[in-house]
Structures are given as structure tokens and as C-alpha cells.
Structure 1
Amino acid sequence: MILLTLFTIGCGHLTKIFIKTNIKFSHNPLLQLILVVFLAFWGILAISPTDRTQWLLENILLVLVILVLCITYRKYKLSNLSYLLIFVFLCLHTYAAHYTYQGTPIDQWLKSVIHTRRSYFDRFVHMMFGLLWFYPIRELLTRITGLRMFWSLITTISFILSLGAVFEIIEMLVAILAGQTGQDYMGLQGDVFDSEKDMALSLIGAIISSFILAIIFRKRKYHSLHLAKGMAKQKLNPNTNK
């Protein structure tokens, strides 16, 4: 019983660490660790990338994302869980930028195993975009708009789909302006529906995250109602536990 109680308290403490917002950076060791690990990871993979030009193109958006997060941090601090999810996505992107999205070691291994010419890591990252960015974007939208539950999930899905479309437009413009390097950056690999498939995978990732959050919200609501009923019953019958 004592171990169970300690475990419950520990889980509750960890939940507060990950979910709580408005923590000052100087008082947030987890966020400090996330930042240090990412900078170290990025710095190592910035050394001798496979294609320096493509690496620079891939890092433009990454730098913009980090700048936006830093500039808005004082006014819109996200939870550590949001920053952790963003960290995972940026690590995936940094890894792909080093090798190029068409030449990652994972893709080389897959090609030898399933005998395909297609590189699938870029598709995986597009799906992870919807899956990993869903929670941070929803957290920000609910804080700004006040949306809750169902509409917050639907709005976030729509927002991620819109971001995916904007990114594909940016890729198209880069391909037009940068010539062959831009075409390599797009990574069509002979698939005329590559952009549509990328957006579809981002949408699928967002929908999966929305279902996970919906289940969590439902369970949390059930436990809250159950706890409230128990407390009300105890107030009505204060001698039942004696």
C-alpha cells in the first residue's frame, strides 16, 4: 500500500512537471536539458552533411521554428510535454537533413530488405509532424481561442492540414527557384502525387493524436466525476468510514 501510494504521488509529480505551463526557463531543468541535448545533436549532425546545400535549405524552417518558439516564450510558454514532442520532431528532421531525406541509413536498410527504390523516411516524418505537433498546437490554440474538447481537436486537425499545404507550396517555390537542388529538396522520387500523400500522412498523424487525446480526456472526466460523487457521498454520510 505504501509503495502504491508513493508510486501514485510520483506519477502525479511527473504529470505536473510535463503538463504545467508558465514555468520560468531558469526554474525549468527539463526544458534546459531538452535544449542542451538538441543543440548538441544538431551540432554533431551539422558536421559534414551529405549535401551542404540541401542541409542549408532544410535548416531554414528549423531555424525559423526555433526563433518563433524563443520570441514567443515569454508570452506563450508551452508545457514541457509540448516542448518534448517538438524536440523529438526536430531531431527527426535534423537527422534527415544531415543525410538528405532520400539517403538516410534507415532508407538504405529498408531498400535492401523490401527491395524498393522509394525512400520512405520523408513520409514517416510527415506523419510524425501531424502526430507530434498536434498536442503543442492544440495547447496554444486553446489558450488563445478558449476552445475546448471537440472543437479544439477539430480546429487543430484543420490547422495541421493547412500547415502541411503551406509547406508543400514552399517546397514548390524552392524547386522553381533553386533548380535541380530544389527538385532534390522536394524529393518527389517520380511520384506525381507526392505532395498529396505527404499532406494525407500529416492528417492521419493528427487524427491519431486527436483520438488519443479524446480517450485521455474521457477517462479524466470519468475519474473526476467518480471522485466528485465519492466526496459528495462522504459528506452526506460522514460516519460510513468509521
Structure 2
Amino acid sequence: MNAPLAQRNYDKALLVCLGVWLAGLLWSGWAPYDRATWWMEVAPVFLAAPVLWLTRRNLQFSTLLLIFITLHGLVLMLGGAYTYARVPLGFEIQHWLGLHRNPYDKIGHFMQGFVPALVSREILLGTGAVKGRKMAAFLSICVAMAISACYELVEWWAALAMGQGADEFLGTQGDPWDTQSDMFFALIGSCVAMLFVARFVDRAISR
């Protein structure tokens, strides 16, 4: 495939991703449970969208990874619309598994490890910054965990700045180990990405 055609195809795929995000933002932001929480939850989407578009000439991801990135954004929007502790899907999972709390936030933190790890891996291997796939996997997990740790710091700062008003954003639901379990789920997500999904991304890139 020649370069101009490949670029046009990538632009189309990226526009589909951004279009889905726009529709999701309109839906989730129409009447969210808490407007301030919505802004904080979907902020990564507002940051990622222009970065993806402005870097599309020099930094292109596989179509499969774009799908995962799109899904991650939708997970954030759903959590922003209801707040993580009130997402209906989470209550369904809670009922199925007999849990004592709504686990939807753990899905969010799983994706927080899963998608950044795959993004990091494609960048590391695609730019030639790392040659070995094992080292790329290790560093990608490290990047995902660093992002997870930074996000927990943001939650801490939000709690200090907003006081009780940060409860909807934190979504701890009374769990004193919420921060640790959030990071653990991000670790699970990044490991699953490297162990079971990376090979499919490689096949998507080769095609």
C-alpha cells in the first residue's frame, strides 16, 4: 500500500474513532449525575483526541489499537455520566458475582493499564526506541503503572481540594484499599495486554 493511501485510510479510521467519541461525549454530557465529576472523568478524552489528530502524520497506530482506544474513551464517558459507583452495568456485575460494591471502576482501571500498555508498546517498537519485544513489554507495563500512579495522585489532590465534593470522583465506596486495588487492576490490564493481546496487534500491524 502506497504512503498517501495508507495515510488516507488511517485518517478515516481515526475520524471514526473521534466521531464515536463525540457521540459518546454528547450522550454522557447531556445530563450527567454530577457535572464536575463528568468533567474530571472525561478529561483524558479531551486531552487524547487532539493529540491523536495532530500527531497522525508521524504517529500512527494499528486499527485494532484504535478500537481499544475508542472503547477506553467510552468506558470513561459511561463512568462520567453516572459516576463510577452508580453505573448500571456495574450493578449487574455486582449482582452476578455477589460482590459488596459496584465494580465498574475496576473495569476503568483495568482499561487504564490495558490500553496505555499497548500504546506504549506500539510507540516503542514502531519508533525503534526498543528492539526486543520482551523489553518493550516490560517497559510498556512500567509506563502503564506510572500512569496509574499519577492518576491516583490526581485523585488525592482532588480530594484535598474538593473535600467531600470529591467523593463522586473518587468512587471509593468506603473501601480503605481502593487506591491499591485500582493500581492492581491496572497491573492486571497491562499484563493481559502484553501476554494475550499484543500478538494480535502485531498481526494487525503486519496487515
Please classify the TM superposition score into its range, dividing by the shorter chain length: 0.7 to 0.9
Q: TM-score, normalised by structure 1?
A: 0.73
Unpaired stretches in structure 2, ≥5 consecutive residues:
none
- Does 1 or 2 have the higher relative contact order (CA < 8 Å, sep 6+)? 2
CA RMSD of aligned residues (A): 2.8
Unpaired stretches in structure 1, ≥5 consecutive residues:
1-15, 220-242
Moved more, 172-181 or 66-75: 66-75
Contact 1:53 1:181 in 2 (8 A): no
Q: Which residue of 2 aligns with 1:53?
A: 36
1:140 equivalent to 2:119? Answer no
Q: Structure 2 counterpart of 1:105, which letter?
A: P
Q: Which residue of 2 aligns with 1:201?
A: 185
Q: Which residue of 2 aligns with 1:38?
A: 21
Contact 1:25 1:31 in 2 (8 A): no
Aligned in 2, Cα 1:46/1:185: closer, same or farther, shift over 3 Å? same
1:153 equivalent to 2:133? Answer no
Following the alignment from structure 1 to structure 2, what is the Cα–Cα distance between the partners of residues 27 and 96? 29
Q: Give the counterpart of 1:108 among 79, 91, 100.
A: 91
Contact 2:149 2:183 in 1 (8 A): yes
Shift of 1:215: 5.8
1:98 equivalent to 2:71? Answer no
Following the alignment from structure 1 to structure 2, what is the Cα–Cα distance between the partners of residues 207 and 27? 27
Tell me the matched-pair count.
Answer: 201
Shift of 1:83: 1.5
Q: TM-score, normalised by structure 2?
A: 0.84
SS in 2 for 1:24: helix
Q: Structure 2 counterpart of 1:203, which letter?
A: L
Aligned in 2, Cα 1:54/1:70: closer, same or farther, shift over 3 Å? same
Q: Which residue of 1 aligns with 2:167?
A: 183
Q: Which residue of 1 aligns with 2:147?
A: 163
Contact 1:54 1:181 in 2 (8 A): no
Q: Structure 2 counterpart of 1:32, which letter?
A: L
Q: Deviations over 1:6-61 (max 9, x none)?
A: xxxxxxxxxx9xxx9x9425764333222222211221221111111211221223
Identity in percent = 24
Following the alignment from structure 1 to structure 2, what is the Cα–Cα distance between the partners of residues 218 and 80? 11
Following the alignment from structure 1 to structure 2, what is the Cα–Cα distance between the partners of residues 35 and 207? 27
Aligned in 2, Cα 1:154/1:107: closer, same or farther, shift over 3 Å? same
